[in-house]
Amino acid sequence: MIPPAHGGTLVDRSLRSEVLDRRISEIQDLPRLRPSLDDLYDLDKIGIGAYSPLEGFMGSAEVDSVERQGRLPNGLPWTVPIVLTPPGPANRAIIDSAAAGDDLVLEDGTGGALGVLHLAEKFPLDRARFAQSVYATTDVRHPNVADLANWGDTCLAGTVDVLRRLPLPVGRQELTPRETRELFRTKGWSSVAAYQCRNPPHVAHEYLQRVTLERPDVDGLLIHPVVGRLKAGDYRPEVILAAYEALVRNYYSPQRVVLSALSITMRYAGPKAAIFLSIVRKNFGCSHYIVGRDQAGVGTYYDPYAAHRIFDEYDVGVVPLRYEESYFCRKCGETTSARSCGHGAEDRIDTSQTRIRKALKDGGAIPRELLRPEVAEILRAPNVLIEPDR
Ligand SMILES: [Zn+2]
């Protein structure tokens, strides 16, 4: 069954065109805030219902509940607080004079109005508590913990109305939950597995997707790469999309696979991120969710299988498909895992990112245990990585 949205109803906070024209004239004189790009991605996702049941940015009681128990106050699983914390002195002045009941315009970096916040509450951001509860560390070497220092000191809570979509990194290749649900319906799928990723596909990723497609209880696969603001050294959003397009076009049945991007800021929160990302995919209409080894991890902050185990604690309403590490076995002559391959570690070929990047740099034919040649060709182009200075 295609699941209903998280909490039962798919939220829609985007204004219809007839309302929109009136609202735009009404908001001319309202105070204007310029949130960070991270917060604008979240605004956009609230608007399209990707964060159902959220209709706005969280208040202090919701944040407290999420941090304390990984659930909304009504008990529904939710592991990452969604807060609005506009940074900088210009925002500061507006935040200080704003009071509950005020309407505030949220604008993008060019001054265009994206949405309106109906302010219900403002409260201080507790960075250390946020970091510890979501990321299980306050170590500033963790990329998301480091980001917290750039957030504003005050959280603004309240429902939002979204006037238009943010200009998205890969444009129209980002379907809304309503669009994916309609697409699944027209394809006749009643069960869809979501594949979370943030890298171009190598052969081990393809293996997990194929194993999933072979399951009799899965009608289709949504490949849903996160392409919001990533971290330095990650592949650029358009490169990730192009690499997946090459894989889908050259190798997969178009009857079984949908590719669409998801622009949110990646939370490298290991298990807590896995739950959050599975809830988002449920809102897009997915009934199953693929959880590989060390999903949404970074460095050595999380046990590689913590993201598997956390699904025992939370019934999100999707079926977690938990896969162990896969590898290329010399004796089997294919990508496999210890669930079917009986050979030892000495027969496994190194397929690490380090080796993939070296093989791409060295030129020549790419080993078949690493990448499809069509994918390798895209990754060999110049400027495919995000520079450290952003
Ligand atoms: Zn083997």
Q: What is the DSSP letter of 71?
A: B
**Separation between Cα atoms, residue 377 and residue 239, nearest integer Å:** 11
Closest CA to 256 of 298, 291, 210: 210
The rounded Å distance from CA 251 to ligand 1 centre is 24
The residue type found at 101 is G
Among 15-19, 229-233, 378-382, name the most confident range: 378-382
CATH, domain range 17-162 = 3.10.400.10
The reported pTM is: 0.95
Q: What digits encode the pLDDT tens for the residues 179-220?
A: 999 999 999 999 999 999 988 999 999 999 999 999 999 999
pLDDT at 173: 86
pLDDT confidence tier of residue 352, bands split at 50, 70 and 90: confident
The rounded Å distance from CA 271 to ligand 1 centre is 29
Tokens of 371: 């990448």
The rounded Å distance from CA 244 to ligand 1 centre is 27
End-to-end Cα spacing for the chain:
42
CATH, domain range 171-379 = 3.40.50.620
The rounded Å distance from CA 356 to ligand 1 centre is 21
Q: What digits encode the pLDDT tens for the residues 85-105?
A: 999 999 999 999 999 999 999
Q: What digits encode the pLDDT tens for the residues 115-147?
A: 999 999 999 999 999 999 999 999 999 999 999
Across 51-72, average pLDDT: 98
Any idea where the domains of the chain sit in the sequence? 17-162, 171-379
pLDDT confidence tier of residue 390, bands split at 50, 70 and 90: very low
